[in-house]
A and B are shown apart, each in its own frame.
Chain A
Amino acid sequence: MKLTLKVWRQANATAQGEIKTYPLDGVSPDMSFLEMLDLLNEQLVTQGEEPVAFDHDCREGICGMCSLMINGEAHGPEVTTTCQLHMRSFSDGDTITIEPWRADPFPVIKDLVVDRSAFDRIIQSGGFISANTGSAPEANSVPAPRDKAMRAFNVATCIGCGACVAACPNGSASLFLGAKITHLGELPQGQPERWSRVVDMVGQHDHEGFGGCTNIGECASACPKEIPLDVISQLNKDLRTAMKQGL
């Protein structure tokens, strides 16, 4: 396959960025999208041009490190992560535009790499169950209803990649937030801190500069792990309950 790539290049956080165009030949349909970028970088190094910086690590769709807006879509046209997107989803002769996540709370570090530390700070604000090592009771002493445990698992599969934010016209992280609130709120162990958790996490979310949710749903359709939109309903419901309690 032969492609034309239009790639966002930006030297550092404060530099002015621009789209640069690169022709790329010899792309195999079996390559992952990131392997296609590896090929571009190998070509750039040969030409003496600095390779394109992009985040990636596990390349099996689970670590959440890879990102990229591909032709304006977070993680590209398929419901998966960029590392699991393969070139067979594109056609010979295509032009592909590749940009970093676009959201104020995710500032660009270089080229396609952004800073997502805001997500860590949201977790720090309450995305946990306080259980010091050694203090845990016998695991089976507290049964957890199977359907609730399954819902907890299904939303706990969030990989924290930030696609939901990048896809949202408001730059909201409500899907990320709702997934964690639902994961911990569905389990018996998560009940003691349930109401303070939602208040604290929403507060941090807003403090980081993420936007509000207006139920557009782009987040859920961009999510590579298919976190359902109803976690945001759960988030709002828990927040209402907490606020009624005066928290």
Chain B
Amino acid sequence: MAGSTLHDGLTPLNGPSNQISDDAQGFYVLGENIVDPVAPAGPIKDRWTTRKFENRLVNPANRRKLDIIIVGTGLAGGAAAATLGEAGYNVKSFCYQDSPRRAHSIAAQGGINAAKNYKEDGDSTFRLFYDTVKGGDYRARENNVYRLAEVSANIIDQCVAQGVPFAREYGGLLDNRSFGGVQVSRTFYARGQTGQQLLIGAYQAMERQVAAGTVEQFTRHEMLELIVVDGKARGIVTRDMVTGAIETHLADVVVLASGGYGNVFYLSTNAMGSNVTAAWRAHRKGAYMANPCYTQIHPTCIPVTGSHQSKLTLMSESLRNDGRIWVPKNVADCEKDPREIPEEDRDYFLERIYPSFGNLVPRDIASRAAKYMCDEGRGVGPQVAEIGPDGEQRMVRRGVYLDFADAIARLGKHGVEEKYDNLLDMYARITGENPYETPMRIYPAVHYVMGGLWVDYHLQSNIEGLFVTGEANFSDHGANRLGASALMQGLADGYFVLPNTIRDYLADGPFEKVAADHPEVVAAQRAVEERVSKFLAIQGTRSVESYHKELGAIMWEYCGMERTEEGLKLAISKIRELRADFWTNVKVLGASDNLNQDLEKAGRVADFLELGELMCVDALNRRESCGGHFRGESQTEDGEALRHDEEFAYVAAWEWGGDSNEGGQPVLHKEDLIYTAIEMKQRSYK
């Protein structure tokens, strides 16, 4: 934090944004600016404590009369269901999987940050806050991030009490490691399976409430519509994926904890079923979608091997602590056995370009550098088909080496095994290659989205009674997420934030019951039924899967690691064409009255086809490079990301304006990001 000054949190350090460029002209309508209506004031360290006190309480006797719907059972949804159930509310929990324990939080490998300062290495709530805001490239909301850092320590206490088996030292106390390029050791972990252990903790706490009767769980249920009555979210329409029954569930409040939308890229590290539908249906009902273009691309994934590829697998970035990343200096060497390429013919490009951080540069920088090497033709591994910038198909090698030879020489094979065996085994299983003998091949892949539904300090969207938590909201990670902070945010929202803010909303309840035959309820249910019938009625010639793949290829090329005005405009026109074709030519077989996985997927892809366009419009409008969003037009002479704080220090909150193929345009509402505790600075990792 050298050179940084802490401020009192009382005085604004920057003014409102003043956007001059207008790249997305013609693709959107400018709406009114917005502010967080419940933003706290006063010294930053006191804001959450004060707010918790100010928020009204709900009498325990009233809680069982209040119905809460929670969509999603990952860390954010599972933790919230457990906590609100314990408090005595009447919770209905929904997930599309066969059990809440399957939610994709389970796949997180690395760890969870907490400002415990167990290592006495100078960590503090303020430092975690600072690192998170800086890591997010000053595009996160200060209030929310400070609160996140503040409750981080409670999360660890809670998880340990539940029996989460974190790594421990010989004395039986908790171990920590340094993660994601920060200089303190604040990451708690359970080998490479931290997400699994945290999720099982939340799942078990939730199942305990199922047994206690406070939580009713609906598995293999997919939310397909939000019910809004008199401006308030009052329920959802779901499809029972086993019987096909379209059902209405009404409540006093609805919580979306439905995860991220990285699968818009088709290939990502997300689970196959991860989707945007719950969030997108809410967006179409009026909820703002904030910063949709902010995508995190993770540098250390196993590369694509061919067109059959259905998903990508992350290798924890902890591998970068000991592995060295390189490509051949000469294009002619790219097909050679890497062990036969002599040292002087290898280009350790991260160490060369970023001598002070080397292989540990932030995720976006490491990812982009790997892309450039492959663009130059110095990638390794099999050639794979992709769309080029000109829209034509081409064959490129997409991979760089991650080499453990030096680490094995230094630590011994056993030393490397002890640290990374589960990751290296996974690599061997997927690729059929032995990483102890030949360098691993890695390539960036979409891993996480920082964008999501807009929420205020209480995690409430602009639709009253609709709360959004975890990856599904936008609030904490800005333009780039710091390593080991996704788990922290999911659990912070679920265990500690939402339960303390939702009560203020519910203090006005129970609200007048909504009748099952209320016109809004009937209309929502009918809309879902019609949409399902429509998919089955089109009877075209192309599979749902093929549309998804094509959309993914467009998104990856034009809205992936590097975005340009020209590319984004091309992408928008391609997506519009693809979407129009989908609605006339998709082929969904089977019936709607039983398990039909193609039908489920059709609904998700239809929503991705709308979301993808909005992501491109958002990326087009934001003519600056920040965090995971790199605009080719906005870089320094050295090719580094260049932010434009005067123009773009705002949250882009988009309002649904209708399908663009029918003349609709999204409406942009800006929420200025005013910092009072930290000054904005350009990043430098050289």
Within 8 A of A (CB), among B592-616: 594-598
Verify B589–A51 contact, CB threshold 8 A. yes
In the complex, whether A34 has a CB less than 8 A from a CB of chain B is yes
Q: Which one of B104, B208, B431, B496 has the greatest number of beta carbons of chain A within 10 Å?
A: B208
Binding site for A on B (CB under 8 A): 79, 82-83, 86, 97-104, 106-107, 116, 118, 154, 156-163, 165-174, 190-191, 193, 196-197, 200, 203-205, 207-208, 210-211, 217, 219, 242, 269, 271-273, 305-306, 308-311, 313-314, 426, 429-432, 495-496, 499, 543, 545-546, 587, 589-590, 594-598
A-B contacts, CB under 8 A, total: 222
28 CB contacts below 8 A, A to B, read A28-B306, A30-B306, A38-B308, A57-B273, A62-B193, A62-B196, A63-B103, A63-B106, A64-B99, A65-B98, A88-B432, A109-B595, A113-B595, A117-B219, A124-B211, A128-B162, A133-B83, A134-B154, A136-B160, A139-B156, A139-B159, A139-B161, A143-B172, A149-B165, A149-B166, A149-B168, A157-B193, A187-B163
B430: chain A residues within 8 A (beta carbon): 32, 84, 86
* A14 to B100 CA separation, bound complex (whole angstroms): 26
Verify B173–A131 contact, CB threshold 8 A. no
Verify B495–A12 contact, CB threshold 8 A. no
Stretch at the interface among A16-24, A40-48, A163-171: A40-48
CB distance from B432 to the nearest CB of A (A): 5
Verify B107–A132 contact, CB threshold 8 A. no
> Given A63-B97, A65-B98, does the pair A153, B197 have CB atoms closer than 8 Å?
yes
* A63 to B101 CA separation, bound complex (whole angstroms): 7
B190: chain A residues within 8 A (beta carbon): 153, 156
Verify A28–B308 contact, CB threshold 8 A. yes
Verify B308–A35 contact, CB threshold 8 A. yes
A63: chain B residues within 8 A (beta carbon): 97, 101-104, 106-107, 271
B168: chain A residues within 8 A (beta carbon): 143-144, 146, 149-150
Verify B101–A160 contact, CB threshold 8 A. yes
CB distance from B278 to the nearest CB of A (A): 16
* A128 to B217 CA separation, bound complex (whole angstroms): 17
Verify A56–B272 contact, CB threshold 8 A. yes
A45: chain B residues within 8 A (beta carbon): 543, 587, 589, 598
> Given A63-B106, A110-B594, A124-B211, does the pair A57, B161 have CB atoms closer than 8 Å?
no
B429: chain A residues within 8 A (beta carbon): 78, 80, 84, 86
Within 8 A of B (CB), among A37-75: 38-39, 41-42, 45-46, 48-51, 53, 55-65
* A48 to B102 CA separation, bound complex (whole angstroms): 31
Verify A133–B158 contact, CB threshold 8 A. yes
* A163 to B426 CA separation, bound complex (whole angstroms): 19
Verify B165–A86 contact, CB threshold 8 A. no
Q: Considering the complex of A and B, which 9 residue pairs feature the smallest CB-CB distances, nearest first?
A: A143-B172, A136-B161, A128-B204, A153-B165, A131-B161, A136-B157, A133-B83, A124-B211, A139-B160
- Minimal Cβ-Cβ distance residue in B for A110: B595
Verify A35–B309 contact, CB threshold 8 A. yes
- Minimal Cβ-Cβ distance residue in B for A143: B172
* A58 to B97 CA separation, bound complex (whole angstroms): 11
> Given A50-B590, A86-B432, A117-B99, does the pair A133, B495 have CB atoms closer than 8 Å?
yes
Verify A140–B174 contact, CB threshold 8 A. yes
B546: chain A residues within 8 A (beta carbon): 42
Verify A51–B156 contact, CB threshold 8 A. no
Verify B158–A131 contact, CB threshold 8 A. yes
Q: Which one of A124, A133, A183 has the greatest number of beta carbons of chain B within 10 Å?
A: A133
In the complex, whether A4 has a CB less than 8 A from a CB of chain B is no
- Minimal Cβ-Cβ distance residue in A for B219: A117
CB distance from B219 to the nearest CB of A (A): 7
Q: Which one of B171, B172, B590 has the greatest number of beta carbons of chain A within 10 Å?
A: B172
CB distance from B542 to the nearest CB of A (A): 9
Verify A127–B305 contact, CB threshold 8 A. no
> Given A48-B589, A62-B196, A140-B118, does the pair A55, B174 have CB atoms closer than 8 Å?
no
Verify B102–A57 contact, CB threshold 8 A. yes
In the complex, whether A190 has a CB less than 8 A from a CB of chain B is yes
Q: Which one of B79, B167, B545, B589 has the greatest number of beta carbons of chain A within 10 Å?
A: B589
